[in-house]
Amino acid sequence: MINEKLEKAFNDQINKEFYSEYLYLAMQAYFERLNLKGFVNWFTVQVQEERAHAMGMFDYVHQRGGHVELEAIEKPVTNWSSPLQCFEEVLKHEEFVTSRINALMDVAEEVKDRAALSFLDWYLKEQVEEESTVGDVLATLKLIKDDSKALLMLDKDLAARTFTAPVIG
């Protein structure tokens, strides 16, 4: 049976993962309005990843005999001034998620739940990858500045991204 404090922390993170899915769905809609289909694809994959992350934790709490309690999802921002500003927000959000995974691991350490720590290790490694991937796109957008041809080239590159269901834990 999962510790009550840890269960509460997992439920909080599950909500944050679903918020991430919702935020990235809003960003997907933003790029749809800009007719940048490669960016749309990038966020389509990101939405799928965030849902998989949430459901991995959802399933884990149930496997440990806990109860999942879903909360209302906060409305995300739905418009940005530029693709660069949008990706600056993505990096900021991923850094926030990393801090929350670390806080969840702190609770697991506090209650001495080694199984939870082992499970959460995958999420921590995933966050390193997430921040790196977003950082790469952001660095390219900073180089592009207002060059529409370069933006279209990046858009074409982002169209190649595909979703692969993660094996969590």
Expressed as residue numbers, the domain containing 28 is 4-158
Within-domain flag for 165: no
For 151-165, what is each residue's pLDDT tens digit? 999 999 999 999 999
Q: Can you give the pLDDT at residue 154?
A: 98
Within-domain flag for 168: no
Given a cut of 80, whether residue 17 has pLDDT beyond it is: yes
DSSP state for residue 113 in the 8-state scheme: -
* Helix ranges restricted to H, 73-165: 83-110, 114-144, 148-158
CATH code at 13?
1.20.1260.10
pTM across the whole model: 0.96
For 51-105, what is each residue's pLDDT tens digit? 999 999 999 999 999 999 999 999 999 999 999 999 999 999 999 999 999 999 9
Q: Can you give the pLDDT at residue 72?
A: 97
Neighbours of 151 (CB within 10 A): 21
Q: Can you give the pLDDT at residue 78?
A: 96
Within-domain flag for 164: no
For 125-144, what is each residue's pLDDT tens digit? 999 999 999 999 999 999 99
Q: Can you give the pLDDT at residue 169?
A: 77
